[in-house]
Amino acid sequence: MKDSSMKRIIFLFLASLSLVNTSFAEDNKPHHWTYGEVKEWGEVPEFETCKLGKEQSPINIIKKDVKKSDLPAIETNYESSKAEIVNNGHTIQINLAAGGSAQLRNDEYKLVQFHFHTPSEEKINGKNYPMVAHLVHKNADGHLAVIALLIKEGKENAALKNVFANLPAEEGKSDLANEINVTDLLPASLKYYGFNGSLTTPPCSEGVAWHVVEKPIELSKAQISAFKKIFKSNARPVQPLNGRVIEESN
């Protein structure tokens, strides 16, 4: 038997064991998953959208196929907020107590948290950036919208100085000493690529409105290295478009 099929069988066996476990669990704890098993996410029943979904994220954005459109501009009303910094085993996430809101696709969305991936999950013309920040928003109906800020190596990012100086190496959370205003992270232009997609982590739920901002922001080499020391790679591979058209805002 090939090593890879053996691994698959072991994985399915372990997955079925953990299923049995959860049926008795009362805390409704989500399944454990890893980036090492990214191709098997969809084999776990409650993650099947990862395999069966037709509008999955992330994607490769091919500029010549992007359609110019009149997608509404992103308007942000972010506010300074207390924050906690969490290492959840998959990324570093900054939870905002009251981060303000953004007007996205003519609807108001509250900014809930932001987190990072390395390399960037989104590709532009087949290329990754060293990192990406995902700003996760939720509207009154519980729908999600994400603004992706691509990150290139450059100047030290002053707005994230405290975050990157205090990245928790182990799973757990702590309060950030300073308040944070996500406005300070944004590039000068918020022109974006818009499309429908999904969460890029299990359960890969769809119906997420994506906004990939064209102009990247910067982190210093030291800041990028500090993240990579904790998460060497935490990016889902790009997914098929399945006929989706990527639009570009004005």
Judged by the rule CB under 5 A, the positions of this chain that interact with Zn ion are 134
Supply the minimum distance, in Å, between the C-beta of residue 99 and Zn ion: 16
Spatial distance between the Cα atoms of 14 and 146, rounded to a whole number of angstroms: 32
Supply the minimum distance, in Å, between the C-beta of residue 57 and Zn ion: 9
Nearer Cβ to Zn ion (123/134): 134
Spatial distance between the Cα atoms of 48 and 130, rounded to a whole number of angstroms: 29
Q: Are 138 and 128 a contacting pair, CB within 8 Å? A: no
Q: Are 132 and 224 a contacting pair, CB within 8 Å? A: no
Spatial distance between the Cα atoms of 227 and 233, rounded to a whole number of angstroms: 10
Q: Are 186 and 76 a contacting pair, CB within 8 Å? A: yes
Q: Are 122 and 150 a contacting pair, CB within 8 Å? A: yes
Q: Three-state DSSP class for 84? A: strand
Supply the minimum distance, in Å, between the C-beta of residue 112 and Zn ion: 12
- By C-alpha distance, which of 38, 39, 211, 195 is closest to 109? 211
Spatial distance between the Cα atoms of 58 and 148, rounded to a whole number of angstroms: 10
Spatial distance between the Cα atoms of 89 and 37, rounded to a whole number of angstroms: 14
Spatial distance between the Cα atoms of 201 and 237, rounded to a whole number of angstroms: 11
Nearer Cβ to Zn ion (13/207): 207
Residue 197 exposure: Cα atoms within 13 Å on the Cβ side: 28
Q: What are phi and psi of 216, to 5 degrees?
A: -75, 160
Supply the minimum distance, in Å, between the C-beta of residue 200 and Zn ion: 5
Supply the minimum distance, in Å, between the C-beta of residue 8 and Zn ion: 26
Give residue number: closest CB to Zn ion.
134
Place of tokens 């990324």: 91
Nearer Cβ to Zn ion (8/84): 84
> Of residues 90, 134, 137, 211, which has the active-site annotation?
90
The answer to whether 32 is a known catalytic residue is no
Q: Which residues are catalytic?
A: 90
